[in-house]
């Protein structure tokens, strides 16, 4: 599940990095994300090594992401949150840093808060893409909804590709393998 906000005005903003990762994965796999009935999300599914993989991007705003996540889990009969991978932006990491984590809090991310409130289980895997904290006194909400500078965007483009790689490792080898590979110092 790649978190973001729907609409052209939010494309390439910091808050839509999760959606960019899922779109890149779909492209790599030759899939097309389409509206998935009853889920408020765009989705595509395929099999990797005999494992069903569903790629999805909510078509809700970030703070309502849990609606799409819970509907998709029901639709595809995911038995537990440990089979869910959520890709999102992270203020607590430097710009361009990618980290994989299992469980945890929301760190103020409204998309994660919504998912927590719908699933009542924080045990899902997260692929976090660092966007750094806003400079000066700028508010977090304004910062995440703006497009980054060119230098930041270049770093984020690399991070999006790394995050897509991390999701593939999670799907094929598990979260522990992805944490070993992507959580080292870079």
Q: Which of 15, 88, 116, 118 is catalytic?
A: 15
Q: For residue 87, what is the DSSP state?
A: E
Q: What are phi and psi of 51, to 5 degrees?
A: -110, 130
Q: What are phi and psi of 128, to 5 degrees?
A: -105, 130
**CA neighbor of 15 nearest in space, from 24, 6, 27:** 6
Is 15 one of the annotated active-site residues of the chain?
yes
Long-range contacts of 151-156 (CB under 8 A, 24+ apart): 152/95, 152/96, 153/12, 155/95, 155/96, 156/14, 156/17, 156/95, 156/96, 156/129, 156/131
Catalytic residue annotation: 15
């Amino acid at each position: 599940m790649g978190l973001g906000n729907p609409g052209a005005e939010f494309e390439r903003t910091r808050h839509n990095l999760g959606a960019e990762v899922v779109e890149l994965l779909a492209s790599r796999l030759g899939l097309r994300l389409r509206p998935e009935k009853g889920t408020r999300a765009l989705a595509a599914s395929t099999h990797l090594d005999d494992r069903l993989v569903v790629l999805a991007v909510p078509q809700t705003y970030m703070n309502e992401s849990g609606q799409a996540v819970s509907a998709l889990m029901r639709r595809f009969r995911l038995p537990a949150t440990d089979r869910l991978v959520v890709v999102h932006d992270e203020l607590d990491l430097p710009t361009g840093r990618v980290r994989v984590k299992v469980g945890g809090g929301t760190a103020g991310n409204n998309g994660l808060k919504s998912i927590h409130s719908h699933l009542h289980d924080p045990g899902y895997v997260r692929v976090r893409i660092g966007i750094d904290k806003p400079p000066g006194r700028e508010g977090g909400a304004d910062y995440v909804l703006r497009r980054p500078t060119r230098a930041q965007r270049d770093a984020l483009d690399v991070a999006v590709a790394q995050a897509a790689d991390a999701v593939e490792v999670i799907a094929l080898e598990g979260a522990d393998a992805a944490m070993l590979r992507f959580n080292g110092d870079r």
